[in-house]
Amino acid sequence: MNILVCFTVMPELELMLDDDWVVDKNLHIDVGFLKQSLNCFDESALELALRFSEAAQNLHLSPKLSALTIAGPEATAMLKTLSALRFDPVVRIDSEKDLRFQSMSIAAILSQYVVDHPPQDVVLTGIQSGIGENAKTPLLVAEMLEWPCITQVIEIEPVDETELTVTCQVDNGLLQQTIQAPCVLAVGNAAYSYLRVPTLKDRIQFGKKAHEILYGGDFDALEEGVELMDLNLAKQERSGTLIEGATPKEKAATLYASCLKERLKKL
Amino acid sequence: MIFKLILIGCSTDITSRAEEINAFVAENLGSGDHVGSTILFYSPEEDRNELLRLVPTESVKLVCIARYQPETILEALQTVEKEEETDLYLFPSGYAGSELAVRWAFRTKGSSLVHVSGIECRQNQLIAKKKVYSDYLFGTFRLNKKPYCISPVRASAGSVPVQMRRHVIVGEHDLTLLCKDQFIKASRWSEADTTASLEKSKFILIGGRGMGNEKNTANLRELAGSLGADFGVTRPAAMNAWAPMDKLVGVSGAVTKPEVCIVAGASGAPAFYAGIEKSKYIVAINTDSKAPIMRSSDVAVVDDYKPVLDELVKLMKA
C-alpha cells in the first residue's frame, strides 16, 4: 500500500511579540525570522504513517511511504529528517505564489501530484494548517480525486494490501472502520502527536539523500472564490487584576475570599 | 438573500448544534431581506417529530437517510437541491459541518469558509470573519461565488433555544436506499471519553506546559478533584501525553463556557484561549507575570500554581 503524507512546516507563532504583528499593504506579515516546525496535525500524520508501516511489515506487507510539501527552502531540514526516517521519495513543490488562503490551489497541486505519480492508495494529512486555518485541503483533495474522505482520524492499521482500519473521533465516541483504498484521511487529535527522531546512523545513511523539487508553476490553480480583505490582531484582553500577597498562602486567601468564594457557592 | 440551514438529526449533539445555528442566524441574518428554510436530515431510528422541534425556520424540507455518512448526505443534497436557487447554505459548527460545507461548495461551484465567527451579506458577495494565524489574527474574507457555504466556529454567537413553532413541510424525501459508503467494509462504534463533558462543566481547572511532566499533571488532576472542578489541559500538555486528548481544551478540543475557569501554568496562546474565552470568570496562576494569559484573565496570581492551589483546597475545605 502506498501512503503519501502531505505536510506543512510553519513558523512558531507563539514566539511573536505583539509588536511583531505588522500587516503590510499586501496583507503579508514578516514571520521569516521565526523557527520553523511541523504543523501539529501533520506531525501526527507522519508518525501515524511510520507506525502503520511497521505494523504492515509485521504482517509481511510492503508499504511504501512518501512525503510531500509545498514550501520554500525553509523546509529543507525537515525534508532531511523525513528522508532519514525512510520516507521515499520526499518531495518539495516550490511555489512562489501566496498560498496562505488558497486551499483550492493547494488541493489542485496535491491532487495533480497524486494523479501524476501513481499508484497512490492513501493520502494522509493533517486536518488543518496553522497559518490559513482553512481546514479545507484534505476535503478538496478528496473531491478533486473523487476519493472518499475520513476526517478526525486518530489511528490507522493495515489489514492487507488494499484495505486498512481507520479509527476516527465522532460524537461521543470512536468509529473504527475497515475501508478499501484509495482514500483521503485527515488526521485530528491523535494520541501519537510527536514525530520520532531518526537515529544518527539513519541520518548519516539516508538523511543526505537529495529530495525531489518540483515547481508549483507547473500545476494548474483553480479559481478560489474566497479573497482575503483584511487582517487584524485578535484581542483577548480582560482586566487581569493582580492578586497581591507576600506568600502563596496570602495570595490564595485573597483569591478565595475576594474572587472565588461567592462564585463557587452559586455553582 | 435566500439561505438554508442544514441540520443533521443523526448527530447526538443535534440540540446544541441547532441552538448554535439559531443564535448565529439571529445575530447575522436577523435583520434584512432574508428568506430562510431548513433541510433536516434524519435516519429512521430518530423521532422525526422531536427533531422538528429543533428546526428554527418555518419552512423545512425533511430528508430520511439510512445513517450519517458524509458521502451519502452530499449525494442526498444533490438530489433534493437540484432545482433550487440558494444564495447561502449554513452548515452546523464542528468537523461534520465544516466537511459538508467545503465539499458542498466544491460540488455546486460555490465558495466556502469554515470556523466563521460572523457574516455580512452584501450585493453579490458575502463578507465573513474568521480567525487565522493560529488564532492570533482575525481575517476578513470576501466570498464571491454563490452558493456561499459557511460553517460557524463553535459557540461563535452563543446558543439560543429554538422556540416552538408550526412548521410548513415543503418537501419530504425518503433516501434510505441511497448508499455511497461501499468503500466501508466493516464499522464499529464504541463509547469513549470525549471533550463533551468539559464543554458542559461549570468549574474547570486547566493545566499547561508549566506542569512539566506527567506526574505533576496527575497531581494537578487530583487537586482539581479536591476543588470540585473538572480537569483539562492545553495542547502542549496533551501532545506530551501527560493527559489524554479528551482533556484537551482549545480551538481543536473542548470549547468550554464555565462559570469559573482556573488556568495554571499555561501561557495563554490564542488557540488555547479560544477554548476558554466564553468563561464567565478566568483566574490565571503563572510564575511569568508577562505571560499573555495574565492580561486575558479577570484575576491573575504571579506564583507557582502548586502552593497556591494547595492553600485554596484547604480554604475550601475549612
Could you tell me if B224 and B245 are in contact, meaning their C-beta atoms sit under 8 angstroms apart?
Answer: no
pLDDT band for B218, please (50, 70, 90 cuts): very high
Q: How far is B313 from chain A (nearest CA, A)?
A: 9
The closest alpha carbon to A152, from A178, A173, A130, belongs to: A173
Q: Is the dihedral of CA B271, B149, B119, B26 positive or negative?
A: negative
Nearest-CB residue to B312 (from A13, A169, A255)? A255
B chain contacts of residue A133, beta-carbon cutoff 8 Å: 115, 130-135
User: pLDDT for B63-73, tens place per residue?
Assistant: 999 988 999 99
Rounded to 10°, the helix B94-107/A137-145 angle is 40
Q: How far is B73 from chain A (nearest CA, A)?
A: 13
Looking at domain A2-218, its CATH superfamily turns out to be: HUPs (3.40.50.620)
Residue A219 is predicted with a pLDDT of 60
Nearest CA in chain A to B126: A226
Nearest CA in chain A to B142: A227
User: pLDDT for B14-38, tens place per residue?
Assistant: 998 999 999 999 999 988 789 999 9
pLDDT band for A267, please (50, 70, 90 cuts): confident
Q: What is the pTM of this model?
A: 0.92
User: pLDDT for B99-123, tens place per residue?
Assistant: 999 999 999 999 999 999 999 998 8
What's the complex ipTM? 0.92
CA distances from A210 to A80, A82, A206, A214 (A): 8, 11, 9, 13
Note whether B99 contacts A149, CB cutoff 8 Å.
yes
Distance CA B259, CA A267 (A): 8
Least confident of A180-184, A252-256, B195-199, B204-208: B195-199
Domain architecture of chain B: domains with CATH: 2-175 (3.40.50.620), 196-317 (3.40.50.1220)
A chain contacts of residue B103, beta-carbon cutoff 8 Å: 139, 142-143, 149
A chain contacts of residue B255, beta-carbon cutoff 8 Å: none
Residue A197 CB: number of other CB atoms within 10 A? 11
Q: How far is A148 from chain B (nearest CA, A)?
A: 7
Residue A14 CB: number of other CB atoms within 10 A? 15
Residue A133 CB: number of other CB atoms within 10 A? 23
Is a pLDDT exceeding 80 seen at residue B78?
yes
For residue B206, list its beta bridge partners: B232, B263
Q: Between A205 and B31, whose confidence is greater?
A: A205
Q: For the purposes of burial, counting CB atoms within 10 Å of the CB of A66, is it exposed (0-12), middle (13-18) or buried (19 or more)?
A: buried
Task: Parse chain A into domains and list their residue ranges.
Answer: 2-218, 239-267
